[in-house]
Amino acid sequence: MRDVWGLLSFLPHGRALKRKSLGGPISTEPRINDRIRVPEVRLVGPNGEQVGIVSIHDALKLAQEADLDLVEVAATARPPVCKLMDYGKFKYESAMKAREARRNQAHTIIKEIKLRPKIDPHDYETKKGHVVRFLKAGDKVKVTIMFRGREQSRPELGFRLLQRLAEDVTELGFVESQAKQDGRNMIMVIGPHKKKAEAKAEKAAARAQRGDEPAGEGPPVEDAASEAQPQQ
């Protein structure tokens, strides 16, 4: 029997017929309750306790008695792992956490301060003052040590300077990203303590609600590079 598709796959003008896509979008939602079609599961209780391997019938019965849902949390395990939970509440809390994370990320501003490994005391205090001001405002600070010439053979100088700066501002922030070499430079990121960052996010949200500024936008980012010119 001839392959009908082979005969009809090309039109006279050379335009191929497209095969119709079968099936719909793949769901990312976990299977719950009677949609879990396996003979047995490894059951986890609502508080994380290990119940063990039970039949799907018994697992569904326990979920019904507890007025909870049976949710498949590890479909590729053998047998699949299922947990007893309030799935509606779980989805709501997950959505709220994701929304909060996006909001905090939108209000995060990273400032940058640049130093030389052999910076003089007065300039160091000036640059440290910038870091203190940024952390108090709830902003992260990227500190960059710039090496030139023979200084590149002395990375320990930059590492010690970054350690010193982190210790000097420890009451306002913490080392979020440890010192690491980045080409000719060495960088470290200092983040504000959580209360400072949360206070800034709340102020920005309040301004957005009043209509002072659009949500997700903060004040203009200062050009920290201009504040932190390389030392001669």
Q: Span 33-86: which CATH code?
A: 3.10.20.80
**Hey, what are 80's tokens?**
């699949």
Per-residue pLDDT reduced to its tens digit, 116-159: 999 999 999 999 999 999 999 989 999 999 999 888 888 999 99
Per-residue pLDDT reduced to its tens digit, 159-168: 999 999 999 9
* Lookup result for tokens 């009809």: 8
Whether the Cβ atoms of residue 56 and residue 66 lie closer than 8 Å to each other: no
Residue 144 sits at φ, ψ, to 5 deg, of -115, 125
Element (H, E) at 5: helix 4-8
DSSP 78: S
- So what's the pLDDT on residue 17? 42
Beta-bridge partners for 181: 186
DSSP 156: H
- Fold (CATH) for 106-227: Translation Initiation Factor IF3 (3.30.110)
Return the SS3 of 52: strand
List the domain boundaries for the chain: 33-86, 106-227
**Hey, what are 164's tokens?**
């010193």
In one letter, which amino acid is 63?
A
In one letter, which amino acid is 13?
H
